[in-house]
Amino acid sequence: MTITTISSATQEVKIGFDQPFVIIGERINPTGRKILAEEMKVGDYSRVKADALAQVAAGAQMLDVNAGIPLADEPRILAEAIQLVQSITDVPLSIDSSIIEALEAGLSVYQGKALVNSVTGEDEVLERVLPLVAKYGASVVAISNDETGISEDPNERFEVAKKIVERASDYGIHYSDVVVDPLVMPIGAINTAGLQVMHVVRRLREELKVNTTCGASNVSFGLPNRNGINSAFLTMAMGAGMTSAITSPLHPEVMAAVRGGDVMMGHDPNCANWIKAYREPAAEGEGRARGGRRRRG
Amino acid sequence: MTITTISSATQEVKIGFDQPFVIIGERINPTGRKILAEEMKVGDYSRVKADALAQVAAGAQMLDVNAGIPLADEPRILAEAIQLVQSITDVPLSIDSSIIEALEAGLSVYQGKALVNSVTGEDEVLERVLPLVAKYGASVVAISNDETGISEDPNERFEVAKKIVERASDYGIHYSDVVVDPLVMPIGAINTAGLQVMHVVRRLREELKVNTTCGASNVSFGLPNRNGINSAFLTMAMGAGMTSAITSPLHPEVMAAVRGGDVMMGHDPNCANWIKAYREPAAEGEGRARGGRRRRG
């Protein structure tokens, strides 16, 4: 029963086969968000702050922080954003960059044990990112593509993941600290994308015994009612053994799918989380009437 | 690739591992519906008609018809209800009764190849229902409980299903005409109910090679946001290989979960059904503006 533990200074999150599914909030990411990018570039983190608080309130157990802004000082901005987010929330973070200096800047200010997002199977990337992960005692997201790109054959993606796990081990990083992203394709273009992911997730769990994550929203790219597709994908992926996802917790139907998935997997004892989230509040009038009767009694 | 074909006089529905999931509308059932029971008892089928049309419009590919009313002439009422429903819709029906005379009355008026709902693993029930299924060339829902009741052990439920499939074979009923209901327990009371169903469904599919169905709504009994639980259950059960369910198609979130499940399983080529169901209609104002420009051009 592999468990990946990620922490902040005050909170621990466990990603694992027997744990509730972990939602890593994806919103703090300037890619495709022009206003956020402009603000972060000039050191205005008000929107980062709002996004952090909203995602935690909606049920994210972790937050991803990305500062990939063209022509900006990404290492400085990423480090500042991480410090800001850690000053206002207790949830552990995933430090998201493709630039090694930005990952190092983020890790150097991070309080706790971070999730580094990400390393790929390319040799050059492995050689730069894994020593950093080892140095800071972090965990790492392993994306299953390499020099040859993203294979459409899920078994080739499995082999890339296996290579990363083995290489991580050479650097002293235990497989429980490698969270594999099997890569989710847009199902509107590749109709077998769902079956592919379920197949790889089962193999990753049974053979490599690693935890898994994914950028879930990619599956619905180009389709209407994206939250409906994302919900079905997440529930079915959980059934196949997926243990976390980097996605937005701000859509109630997606959170219901994940909470319902936890209930189905037996990861919500006595359905306590479900009942807490969806219990109908007592009607206000009824409450007042009871108070009245008590006062009269 | 087992296929169960059910038909009306004009339409065929295929339940199968490589087919879209089949929703059998559960609404035409007087159990717990006092007004419907009173109406059906006196030969007023207006509500039956409305329920039939609404469920087909909402996406049910089949309808279940039940006339179990205490102290009423169930065989006559069931036969009348079936004739009424077949006169206004083309979808195939499931004939639902625990009374052998009612099943026979329903089968004798039914146009097409019906699904008989249901037979259990009790010897006495098997000996009465299976000859009828064979005589009319129907398919049958096999509920996996027997004289000893409903076992909490999913493997015992599998053994009961196996017994029914074998006994059906003795009567010349092919296993492809037996659709097994593995019995869904309320997950609020039995937290492992979801895992149990997935386990049995996988075994039923791999070892007995039979199609499966279930009364899906039972899983959420006693919990708030029942449609949320039902949606997660159906999607995950589809991922495990369930091929149909007797449930209400009148909840949009449940239909989205099933349609999304079909997309994920690769059973909705080019996502055509999904796009048809959820395509955003062109904004009316935009349409008019374009028309205006065209006229000016």
- Give the model's pLDDT for residue A185: 94
Q: Give chain B's mean pLDDT.
A: 94
Q: How far apart are CA A121 and CA A143, in angstroms?
A: 7
A236 and B232 in contact by Cβ < 8 A? no
Position A151 scores a pLDDT of 86
| Cα atoms in the Cβ-side hemisphere of radius 13 Å centred on A161 | 29
Residue type, A29: N
User: Which of A230, A236, A242, A275 to mutate against chain B (most B CBs within 10 Å)?
Assistant: A236
Nearest in space to B267 (alpha carbons), one of B90, B7, B6, B18:
B18
CB contact under 8 A, A274 and B231: no
- The Cα–Cα gap between B253 and B248 comes to 11
B178-187 per-position pLDDT tens digit: 999 999 999 9
Reported as a single tens digit per residue, the pLDDT across A27-64 is 999 999 999 999 999 999 999 999 999 999 999 999 99
Classified by CATH at the fold level, domain B19-274 comes out as TIM Barrel (3.20.20)
Q: What is the pLDDT of residue A26?
A: 97
Average pLDDT, chain A: 94
Residue ranges with strand state E in chain A:
3-7, 12-16, 22-28, 62-66, 93-96, 115-120, 139-143, 178-181, 211-212, 244-247
pLDDT tens track for B205-218: 999 999 999 999 99
| pLDDT tens digits for range B268-285 | 999 999 999 999 765 544
Q: In this model, does residue A285 exceed pLDDT 50?
A: no
Angle, CA A249 vertex, CA A247 and CA A254 arms, to 5°: 85
- pLDDT tens, A75-130? 999 999 999 999 999 999 999 999 999 999 999 999 999 999 999 999 999 999 99
| % of chain A exceeding 90 in pLDDT | 91
Question: Does B261 have pLDDT greater than 90?
Answer: yes
Q: Please state, in angstroms and as integers, the Cα–Cα distance from residue A277 to each residue in A55, A254, A288, B253, following that order.
A: 15, 13, 23, 17
Nearest residue in A to B261, CA atom: A232
Q: Which residues in chain B have Cβ-Cβ distances shorter than 8 Å to A192?
A: 266
- Choice between A125 and B287, residue whose per-residue pLDDT is larger: A125
Which candidate, B52, B115, B58, places its Cα nearest to that of B85? B52
Which of A191, A231, A256 has its CB closest to that of B266?
A191
How many other CB atoms are found less than 10 A from the CB of residue B277?
17
The pLDDT confidence band at residue A282, using thresholds 50, 70 and 90, is low
pLDDT of residue B280: 76
| Residue A160 token pair | 């890339």
Question: Which residue from B235, B257, B263 is facing A187, i.e. has the nearest CB?
Answer: B263
pLDDT tens digits, residue range B103-155? 999 999 999 999 999 999 999 999 999 999 999 999 999 999 999 988 888 89
Token pair recorded at residue A111: 């309080």
Q: Which of A23, A27, A29 is nearest to A6 (CA)?
A: A23
Q: Which of A274, A278, A280 to mutate to test the interface with B (most CBs of B within 10 A)?
A: A274
Least confident piece of the model among A143-152, B130-139, B217-226: A143-152
3-class SS at A117? Answer: strand
pLDDT at B149: 87
Chain B partners within 8 Å of A259 (Cβ): 228, 232
> Which of B229, B260, B279 minimises the CB distance to A263?
B229
Look at residue B288 and tell me whether its pLDDT is greater than 50: no
Q: Which of B33-37, B91-95, B207-211, B281-285 has the lowest mean pLDDT?
A: B281-285
Closest CA relative to residue A117, chosen from A97, A88, A134, A101: A97
Residues of B in contact with A254 (CB under 8 A): none
**What's the pTM?**
0.92
Residue linked to tokens 């048809």:
B276
- Cβ separation of B274 and A195 shorter than 8 Å? no
CA torsion A218→A223→A224→A227, rounded to 10°? Answer: -20
Helix (H) or strand (E) holding B142, with range, is strand B139-143
- B259 and A CB contact within 8 Å: yes
Residue A232 sits at the vertex; the CA angle it makes with B216 and B209, to the nearest 5 degrees, is: 55
Confidence band (pLDDT; 50, 70, 90) for A289?
very low
DSSP code of residue A224:
S
Q: Are A79 and A40 in contact, with CB atoms under 8 Å apart?
A: no
Can you give the pLDDT at residue A57?
97
